[in-house]
Amino acid sequence: MATEERSRHEQQFSLAGKVAVITGAASGIGRAIARRFAASGAVVRILELNLAEAEETCSEIKAADGKATAHSCDVANQEQVKATFAGILDRERVNILVNNAGIAHIGRLETTSEAEFDRIYSVNVKGFYNCMYACIGHMKDNGGGVILNMASVAGSSGLADRFAYSTSKGAVIAMTYSVARDYLPNNIRCNCISPARVHTPFVDGYIKKNFPGKEKEMFEKLSNAQPIGRMAEPDEIAALAHFLCSDEAGFITGTDYPIDGGYFKLHG
């Protein structure tokens, strides 16, 4: 392989020189994305309700010679979001926004209260809107950018007892398509990722709380719900996020990417 070509391949998927804002990166998928982006050269800015855990993510990144800061922010509160973004945008150009902060809910229509529905909407839908709203003008004025929204297979498949959550993730997919279409002339790409079940601390906590004494049995049952026979790992989701936010994905916009162990096409 020629020296020039080898050098080009070594630089592929680099995020060097880019600033990435990632919401909800205190644990799980968000933390994996933040660590991977920083390892690829990005400067990471974490927006998180749980500031202490976000600082832990930053400490891990800095220990690996990466760059990251944590910012206390409730993504459901537009004034907080606008103020937090203003502080970041006053100092630097933001190239990448990853909307990852979200909350889960279990229940069907008749068991979902109005308060529960409003809470899911405020974080999973309005939170994504707030962050995109706060930075879209900045991206337009600075030559473009990349927005990646974390959706779910629940947004496009019928999952039992996930009424409010599925509704919110369906909205995320629709928002992604709309933003991608409207900002094509501004060199802003917008995509979303739809994972199936991912092995995160939330899953372990859910099993421990709801199935005491049967943790191993329930873990295997939830794992086998994916045709591939296991849950995804956060780093696997982060790898796809990394690609979609890199220059190598420059021809990709307005796409919902399932990463689901075959669930969507092979389930049942």
Active site residues: 165
**How far out from the chain centre does Cα 202 lie?**
15
Q: How far is residue 13's CA from residue 39's CA, in Å, rounded to a whole number?
A: 11
Write out the H or E segment, with its range, that includes residue 257: strand 256-259
At CA 23, angle to CA 20 and CA 26, rounded to 5? 110
Q: How far is residue 29's CA from residue 100's CA, in Å, rounded to a whole number?
A: 8
Q: What's the token pair of residue 49?
A: 């309700």
Residues contacting residue 126 through CB under 8 Å, at least 6 positions apart = 76, 78
For residue 5, the number of C-alpha atoms closer than 13 Å in the C-beta half-sphere is 2
Query: For residue 83, what are the β-bridge partners?
Result: none
Task: Decide if 148 contacts 225 (C-beta within 8 A).
Answer: no
Tell me if residue 108 falls in helix, strand or coil. Answer: coil
Q: Is 222 exposed, middle or buried (0-12, 13-18, 19+ CB in 10 A)?
A: middle
